[in-house]
Amino acid sequence: MPTPFLSSEEYDERAHQLYNEGQYDEALDVLREGLGLYPNSVELHIGVGYAHHAREEYAWARRSFEEALVLDPDHEDALAGLGETLLKFGQEEQALRSFRHTLELGYQDDVELMLQIGRALFREGLIEESKQFFEIAAQQTPDAAEAISCIGYAEHRLGNDESAISTLRRALQMDPDHTEARIYLGNIFYDRGDYEAALYHLDRSTPEDHWDELGIWRLIELKKMIYRLRDNDPELRPWEDRLRDLSGELDDIDEMLAEIEAKAMDAAQSEAKGQLELFGALLSSFADVKTPESHRIKTDDGNTFEGTWEEIVDKMRNANCLKESPKPEQDAESFIRRSADAGLLRILR
């Protein structure tokens, strides 16, 4: 039965908590009870709209948002909710008018609202429009990694990978623990064939950071390829467990496809080395001589250095190209990889 001593705000708060927990049916029950007592509560109508939207009941969601806007035509959350719902009906122009009305009302400084609108547009493939709202959010909080990283996602979807990489690196400089941006950046490097950089970023996430199987599959195969881990290596077990959580037990076809992908990556990497390098490696193995691995990096000012990690650091120091000196406890490889992560240089090999 209704409990009249609760205010409309208290009903809204209860429903909001249930919504955040994913209990949409229960949230709707609370909201409907509240509307029985407070039929003119704009916030309760908006709450009903978002609960229906979460349940993919878009016609009912649209009706609730429109009812809220009858009561308050300039309510920013109702305008954003209606815009999101209109996108589901393919009514892009009407949705954009609803979203832009929030700007006309002066809500540019509501960063969460701008990000919400940007993400809704991004999900429906309106990338250029989403980028505009992400940029508005970033202008309000220029040091917010979340807003900056969203711009990077949009740049990638628009085909501008160089800008996306630079933007995502800037977001990670602001917040090194922003794992969503790090995973996204790792996948960009993977798609570009820069497997060392891809592993560097993906390996700095935890299994629980992933809500998509692709990044985990790629990380597992990169670990096998670069670290030469076996299928049953204990280091892979937490990632395989997370895969099972996301997609169920791995069947024989999944495992076969993963093995084919790993072999294809090995073949591509070997081919890229070139015949001369392979022949040299073969002679070295016959002589049972292990030579130091050679690397190549390129600094942001265009200089290229090659050699072991230690030789590269020495060459950069001699050429006055070091932005900072390695810390006493930091080895050359760690110093270079940290510099690459900060966007000061790029590891070519």
Asked if 240 contacts 220 with a C-beta cutoff of 8 angstroms, the reply is yes
Would you state the structure tokens that stand for residue 168, as one six-digit string? Answer: 């995502």
pLDDT score of 272: 45
Tally of residues, the chain: 349
pLDDT digits (tens, 9 = 90+) for 96-123: 999 999 999 999 999 999 999 999 999 9
Where do the domains of the chain lie, and which CATH numbers do they carry? Answer: 1-89 (1.25.40.10), 295-347 (no CATH)
pTM for this predicted structure: 0.70
Beta strands in the chain (DSSP E): 295-299, 304-307, 345-347
Contact 68, 49 (CB under 8 A): yes
Structure tokens at 68: 């809220």
Cα(180)–Cα(216) distance, integer angstroms? 13
User: Quick one: three-class SS letters along 220-248?
Assistant: HHHHHHHCCCCCCCHHHHHHHHHHHHHHC
Strands 345-347 and 304-307: unpaired
Residue 205 phi, psi (nearest 5): -110, 165
Tens digits of residue pLDDT in 174-196: 999 999 999 999 999 999 999 99
The reported pLDDT for the residue numbered 278 is 44
Query: What is the C-alpha separation between 36 and 343, in angstroms, rounded?
Result: 57
Quick one: pLDDT at residue 257? 55
Based on C-alpha coordinates, what's the Rg of the chain? 26
Query: Which residue is associated with the tokens 């609960």?
Result: 51
Spatial separation of the C-alpha atoms in residues 41 and 72, rounded to whole Å = 10
The predicted structure's pLDDT at residue 346 = 77
| Low-confidence spans in the chain with pLDDT less than 50 | 1, 249-250, 272-291
Return d(Cα 285, Cα 216) in angstroms, integer: 34
Whole-number pLDDT of residue 341: 66
